[in-house]
């Protein structure tokens, strides 16, 4: 154990204690300035109960100017201060505390607390940034009413925003001020202010109970033409939450500000969301269809937090999934109601099955409700977010969507204005639906992915089909955990792919689809009334976040891939066939011909006329290299890359004519349209192009270049650029130069350009990335740029990140260590690229371990990176 690990304090859920004091009200005055911002706070402090313990406030990187208790200046001997706390000895049950501090936003490179992004000052307080603005009880169970006065130079900061409603504004020479009040008690992590030279667009919304709300999106003047779509999405979210959950907005203003420098995607501060520009700005020439979807989903997500997170908030950070998992689920429902629901479900399920399962099998594995952490910022994880959302989805399936909504309404009503735990949420569902969720609770408490073994047997004499299901829940150390309650949606098909209706255990009506609920380690389900051997379609809609092992033969999978009426299962059957084929090429170097069953199945999917072209595009796409690694004993990144590439080449060669024909047939027959159907057409057409491009012919490259140059939308332009960046021939530079020249003035589009080069398979990729770190458009301090170039290389270019000479590891280590002192959160996300070191073949395993050691030995490592690398190194 290193010295660092010893001194980093670990925080445990079991140690939770309510605070000794409460701060029901706070008045804040901020004199805003880039280098010297003055913060005066006036706190109403109530002692909780009768005790004589001191008040311990959080505070970091603050210059203390003065403290007054009940109007009297406090002498230094009456308080104590260290790097992270201010301790005050207060004698009375009620005190008014005035604290004056000074901070330097311009020096805040962590982008946590009050910081500068271009000419704008803005805040990010979740989870623990407020303590970098003023001394406070910076914990989510302390709810306060805020009154905030902002004062700044008019010319530099014409816009002054804070949470709530603006109640006052005025001028004072070269200065002006604005006063904001938020009547809803909130935790400090939801505090926000923004000041800067911003413009806005506006709309109005009337809530169901008649409140008129002004909706605004603020951005820099040059970005204003790109804000309309986001404003529309905000309105759609408000309508949707009223309609589906009966949740209304509760202030007169709803402001969203887009900033270029932001660690995360967006933040749900009460009445004043702050967004990364990439989740606000969208216009056809610069945003892909995927970007539009992301903007809508993130706008929805942050809006939906107004109830799931803000009105009902968290008792402590271990409960993070109570707001994030739940809100991701609500966001997914919102999204499915505005798009191709099948495709959305496949994408979400795929993310869980690949990335979340991988997290859960590695050194960072933790329950949806973790029981300890060193740095809370490291726990905004796939497990908390998307496994958390899957757990909520299972709940909804188990109690039925009507019951679930009733339970949610009960939860919101019961706990409005409170800071609660996941148990309160489950309790509300139990009460509203009269169910017992004792066993279900384990989903929040156990790490790891349940493994399901399923086997079926058909008895032609009785017409019965028996499905035997066993569940196994090992934790990271391989230890068995108790069985979970798992809803498995199942349907049966005959061998021609026709749906079959059956009775379950000779009870109930004959139906096609059945929801089986597992509660024991092993269970058997009997379907009756069959006339021939059925093919089971299991885990329909990805009804639970589990791994399923079946004994389905390739023929059966091909039937499901061609006929299953559940989009997830249909897609999954095709993916399994593709994966088996790629692994066959990987494990046997003499293979050079496609398996006939797989090839035929692919051909049918390619030439079919499916109603949802976006589904068809997904069904034709092979599993990612990183995801294939999960199915190898020891990961050989180069071998996997070659095998996948060879299968793609073989498919493209075999179906070249069909691909080309479809590519041309799917050409737009008019100007760009941004609707679901046209986006689906683009997706399928560009999938055809991606296959054709692996043939590496001059003709196809020219075709792609033409698509890039003539595209009237970013989807088509980028779909041409990405495969062109893989071609080691002059057309690559032609394409990259054109793209840079055409969209150089748009930072978000340049992120795509950096990314395309970062994930290239060309041999010179790393040396080009090194050169790109010096590019005029690259900014080492900007999280979006780091993610686009370094993050994409580390997480999405396995071929070169895992280069056999360790050059990829060295580069990422170098970049990470350069980033860590400036922005630990962003550095920590890079560090996770080494998490699975144990899974690699011996050579890489040793090199990755060396990289982790090198990081761990660096002087002055942040707590964020420290926790990730120590856990990775301790992994046994």
Catalytic positions, please?
302
736 contact, one of Zn ion, ligand BES, none, CB 5-8 Å limit per kind: none
Q: How far is the CB of 268 from ligand BES (least distance, A)?
A: 5
293 binds ligand BES (CB under 6 A): no
User: Longest C-alpha distance within the chain, in Å?
Assistant: 94
To 10 degrees, what angle do helices 714-724 and 676-693 make? 10
Q: Strand 144-153 and strand 21-31: pairing? A: parallel
Pick 238 or 643: Cβ nearer ligand BES: 238
Q: How far is the CB of 19 from ligand BES (least distance, A)?
A: 22
267 contact, one of Zn ion, ligand BES, none, CB 5-8 Å limit per kind: ligand BES
User: What DSSP state is assigned to residue 647?
Assistant: H
| Residue of 138, 130, 123 lying closest to 57 (CA atoms) | 138
Q: Is 174 helix (H, G, I), strand (E, B) or coil?
A: coil
The angle formed by the CA atoms of residues 364, 365 and 368, to the nearest 5 degrees, is 120
Q: Is 215 helix (H, G, I), strand (E, B) or coil?
A: strand
175 contact, one of Zn ion, ligand BES, none, CB 5-8 Å limit per kind: none
Distance CA 659, CA 289 (A): 22
Looking at 297-305, 494-502, 605-613, 660-668, which segment touches ligand BES (CB under 6 A)?
297-305
Distance CA 348, CA 363 (A): 23
Distance CA 255, CA 271 (A): 6
Alpha helices in 550-595 (DSSP H): 554-563, 567-587
Q: How far is the CB of 442 from ligand BES (least distance, A)?
A: 25
Pick 298 or 789: Cβ nearer ligand BES: 298
Pick 351 or 548: Cβ nearer ligand BES: 351
H/E element, 625: helix 625-629
User: What DSSP state is assigned to residue 77?
Assistant: G
264 contact, one of ligand BES, Zn ion, none, CB 5-8 Å limit per kind: ligand BES
265 binds ligand BES (CB under 6 A): yes
Total number of residues binding ligand BES (CB under 6 A)?
A: 15
Chain-centre distance of CA 336, in angstroms?
A: 17
Q: Strand 79-81 and strand 85-88: pairing? A: antiparallel
338 binds ligand BES (CB under 6 A): no
Looking at 240-248, 261-269, 404-412, 685-693, which segment touches ligand BES (CB under 6 A)?
261-269
Q: Strand 266-267 and strand 372-373: pairing? A: unpaired
The residues pairing with 260 across neighbouring beta strands, listed in sequence order, are: none
* Number of Cβ atoms within 10 Å of the Cβ of 554: 18
566 binds ligand BES (CB under 6 A): no
Pick 229 or 655: Cβ nearer ligand BES: 229
Q: How far is the CB of 269 from ligand BES (least distance, A)?
A: 9
Pick 105 or 723: Cβ nearer ligand BES: 105
Cis, bond preceding 472 (omega within 30 deg of 0): no
Q: Which of 305, 311, 387, 802 binds ligand BES (CB under 6 A)?
A: 305
* Number of Cβ atoms within 10 Å of the Cβ of 221: 9
Question: Backbone dihedral region of 745: left (phi > 0), alpha (psi from -120 to 50 degrees) or beta?
Answer: alpha
Looking at 53-61, 300-308, 332-340, 415-423, which segment touches ligand BES (CB under 6 A)?
300-308
Pick 623 or 783: Cβ nearer Zn ion: 783
- Which residues in 345-384 contact ligand BES (CB under 6 A)? 380
Pick 130 or 739: Cβ nearer ligand BES: 130
Pick 308 or 713: Cβ nearer ligand BES: 308
298 binds ligand BES (CB under 6 A): yes
Residue 402 contacts by C-beta under 8 Å, 6 or more apart in sequence?
Answer: none
Q: Contact at 8 Å (CB) between 158 and 199?
A: no
265 contact, one of Zn ion, ligand BES, none, CB 5-8 Å limit per kind: ligand BES
Q: Which of 302, 348, 564, 751 binds ligand BES (CB under 6 A)?
A: 302
Looking at 319-327, 617-625, 677-685, 737-745, which segment touches Zn ion (CB under 5 A)?
319-327
Q: Which of 69, 238, 267, 772 binds ligand BES (CB under 6 A)?
A: 267
Q: How far is the CB of 308 from ligand BES (least distance, A)?
A: 10
Binding mask 98-127 for ligand BES (x = CB under 6 A): ----------------------------xx
Q: How far is the CB of 157 from ligand BES (least distance, A)?
A: 24
Q: How far is the CB of 324 from ligand BES (least distance, A)?
A: 6
Q: Contact at 8 Å (CB) between 311 and 250?
A: yes
User: Structure tokens of 13?
Assistant: 């859920």
Distance CA 304, CA 293 (A): 16
The residues pairing with 524 across neighbouring beta strands, listed in sequence order, are: 468
Residue nearest to ligand BES (CB): 265
659 binds ligand BES (CB under 6 A): no
Q: Is 106 helix (H, G, I), strand (E, B) or coil?
A: helix
Q: How far is the CB of 270 from ligand BES (least distance, A)?
A: 12
> In sequence order, what DSSP letters do the residues of 733-762 get, joined into one string?
HHHHHHHHHHHTT-HHHHHHHHHHHHT--S
The residues pairing with 635 across neighbouring beta strands, listed in sequence order, are: 840
User: Structure tokens of 517?
Assistant: 């609920």
**Phi, psi at 109, each rounded to 5°:** -85, -10
Which string of b and e fits 118-142 if b means at least 16 CB within 10 Å?
Answer: eebbbbbbbbbbbbbbbbbbbbbbb
* Torsion angle of the four alpha carbons 583, 585, 586, 587, in this order, in degrees rounded to the nearest 10: 90
Pick 305 or 839: Cβ nearer ligand BES: 305
| Residue of 822, 836, 801 lying closest to 865 (CA atoms) | 822
Pick 264 or 408: Cβ nearer ligand BES: 264
H/E element, 716: helix 714-724
Residue 197: HSE in the Cβ half-sphere, 13 Å Cα cutoff:
7
717 contact, one of ligand BES, Zn ion, none, CB 5-8 Å limit per kind: none
Residue nearest to Zn ion (CB): 324
Q: Which of 122, 148, 233, 264 binds ligand BES (CB under 6 A)?
A: 264
266 contact, one of Zn ion, ligand BES, none, CB 5-8 Å limit per kind: ligand BES
Pick 324 or 627: Cβ nearer ligand BES: 324
Q: How far is the CB of 275 from ligand BES (least distance, A)?
A: 9
Q: How far is the CB of 330 from Zn ion (least distance, A)?
A: 10
Binding mask 327-346 for Zn ion (x = CB under 5 A): x-------------------
Q: Is 557 helix (H, G, I), strand (E, B) or coil?
A: helix
Pick 229 or 615: Cβ nearer ligand BES: 229
Q: Is 2 helix (H, G, I), strand (E, B) or coil?
A: coil
268 binds ligand BES (CB under 6 A): yes
Q: How far is the CB of 46 from ligand BES (least distance, A)?
A: 28
Distance CA 708, CA 133 (A): 47
Distance CA 731, CA 738 (A): 10
**Phi, psi at 294, each rounded to 5°:** -65, -45
Looking at 160-168, 259-267, 363-371, 566-574, which segment touches ligand BES (CB under 6 A)?
259-267
Q: How far is the CB of 287 from Zn ion (least distance, A)?
A: 22
- Which residues in 125-184 contact ligand BES (CB under 6 A)? 126-127
Which string of b and e fits 448-458 if b means at least 16 CB within 10 Å?
Answer: bbbebebebee
Q: How far is the CB of 235 from Zn ion (least distance, A)?
A: 20
Pick 89 or 380: Cβ nearer Zn ion: 380
Given the rule CB under 5 A, which residues bind Zn ion?
324, 327
Given the rule CB under 6 A, which residues bind ligand BES?
126-127, 264-268, 297-298, 301-302, 305, 324, 328, 380
């Amino acid at each position: 154990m290193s010295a660092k690990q010893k001194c980093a304090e670990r925080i445990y859920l079991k140690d939770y204690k309510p605070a000794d004091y409460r701060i029901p009200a706070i008045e804040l005055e901020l004199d805003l300035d880039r280098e010297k911002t003055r913060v005066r706070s006036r706190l109403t402090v109530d002692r909780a109960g009768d005790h004589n313990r001191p008040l311990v406030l959080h505070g970091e990187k603050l210059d203390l100017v003065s403290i007054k208790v009940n109007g009297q200046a406090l002498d230094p001997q009456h308080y104590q201060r260290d790097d992270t706390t201010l301790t005050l000895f207060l004698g009375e049950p009620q005190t008014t505390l005035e604290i004056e501090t000074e901070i330097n936003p311009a020096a805040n490179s962590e982008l946590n607390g009050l910081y500068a992004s271009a000419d704008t000052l803005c805040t990010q307080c979740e989870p623990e940034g407020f303590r970098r603005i003023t001394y406070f009880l910076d914990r989510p169970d302390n709810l306060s009413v805020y009154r905030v006065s902002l004062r700044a130079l008019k010319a530099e900061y014409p816009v002054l925003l804070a949470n709530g409603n603006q109640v006052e504004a005025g001028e004072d020479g070269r200065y002006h001020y604005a006063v904001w009040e938020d009547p809803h008690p909130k935790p400090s992590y939801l505090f926000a202010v923004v000041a800067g030279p911003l413009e806005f667009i506006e709309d109005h919304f009337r809530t169901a109970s008649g409140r008129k709300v002004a909706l605004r999106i603020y951005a820099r003047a040059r970005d204003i033409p790109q804000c309309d779509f986001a404003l529309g999405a905000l309105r759609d979210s408000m309508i949707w939450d009223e309609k589906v959950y009966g949740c209304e907005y509760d202030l007169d203003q709803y402001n969203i500000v887009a900033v270029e420098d932001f660690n995360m995607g967006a933040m749900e501060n009460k009445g004043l969301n702050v967004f990364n520009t990439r989740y606000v700005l969208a216009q056809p020439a610069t945003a892909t269809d995927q970007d539009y979807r992301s903007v809508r989903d993130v706008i929805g997500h942050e809006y939906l937090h107004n109830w799931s997170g803000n009105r009902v908030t968290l008792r402590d950070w271990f409960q993070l999934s109570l707001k994030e998992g739940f809100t991701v689920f609500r966001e997914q429902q919102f999204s499915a109601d505005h798009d191709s629901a099948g495709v959305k479900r496949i994408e979400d399920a795929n993310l869980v099955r690949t990335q979340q399962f991988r997290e859960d099998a590695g050194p960072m594995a933790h329950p949806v409700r973790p029981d300890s952490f060193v740095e809370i910022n490291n726990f905004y994880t796939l497990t908390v977010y998307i496994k958390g959302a899957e757990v909520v989805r299972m709940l909804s399936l188990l109690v039925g969507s009507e019951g679930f909504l009733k339970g949610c309404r009960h939860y919101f009503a019961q706990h409005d204005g409170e800071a609660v735990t996941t148990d309160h949420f489950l309790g509300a569902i139990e009460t509203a639906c009269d169910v017992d969720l004792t066993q279900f609770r384990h989903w929040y408490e156990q790490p790891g992915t349940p493994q399901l073994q399923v086997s079926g047997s058909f008895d032609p004499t009785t017409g019965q089909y028996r499905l035997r299901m066993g569940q196994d829940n090992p934790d990271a150390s391989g230890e068995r955990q108790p069985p979970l309650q798992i809803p498995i949606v199942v349907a049966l098909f005959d061998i021609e792919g026709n749906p079959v209706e059956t009775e379950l255990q000779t009870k109930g009506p004959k139906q096609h689809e059945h929801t089986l609920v597992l509660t024991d380690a092993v269970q058997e389900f009997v379907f009756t009334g069959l006339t021939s051997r059925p093919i089971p379609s299991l885990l329909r809609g990805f009804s639970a976040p589990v791994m399923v092992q079946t004994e389905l033969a390739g023929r059966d999978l091909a039937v499901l891939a061609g006929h299953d009426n559940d989009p997830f299962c249909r897609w999954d059957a095709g993916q399994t066939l593709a994966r088996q084929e790629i692994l066959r090429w990987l494990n046997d170097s003499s293979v050079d011909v496609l398996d006939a069953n797989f090839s035929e199945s692919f051909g049918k999917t390619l030439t079919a006329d499916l109603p949802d072209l976006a589904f068809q595009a997904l069904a034709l796409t092979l599993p990612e290299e990183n995801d294939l690694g999960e199915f190898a004993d020891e990961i050989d990144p180069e071998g996997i890359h070659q095998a996948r590439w060879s299968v793609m080449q073989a498919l493209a060669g075999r179906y070249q004519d069909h691909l080309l024909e479809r590519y041309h047939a799917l050409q737009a027959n008019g100007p760009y349209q941004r609707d679901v159907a046209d986006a689906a057409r683009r997706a399928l057409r560009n999938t055809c192009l991606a296959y054709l491009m692996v043939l590496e012919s001059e003709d196809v490259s020219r075709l792609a270049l033409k698509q890039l140059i003539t595209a009237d939308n970013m989807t088509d332009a980028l779909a041409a650029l990405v495969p062109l960046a893989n071609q080691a021939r002059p057309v690559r530079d032609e394409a990259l130069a054109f793209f840079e020249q055409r969209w150089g003035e748009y930072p978000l589009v340049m992120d795509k350009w950096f990314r395309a080069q970062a994930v290239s398979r060309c041999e010179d990729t790393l040396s080009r990335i090194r050169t790109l770190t010096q590019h005029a458009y690259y900014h080492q301090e900007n999280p979006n740029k780091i993610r686009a170039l370094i993050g994409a290389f580390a997480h999405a270019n396995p071929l070169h990140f895992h280069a056999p000479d360790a050059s990829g590891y060295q580069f990422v280590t170098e970049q990470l260590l350069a980033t860590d002192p400036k922005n630990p959160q962003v550095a920590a996300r890079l560090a996770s690229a080494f998490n699975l070191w144990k899974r690699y073949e011996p050579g890489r395993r040793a090199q990755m371990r060396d990289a982790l050691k090198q990081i761990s030995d660096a002087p002055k490592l942040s707590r964020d990176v420290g926790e990730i690398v120590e856990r990775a190194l301790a992994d046994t």
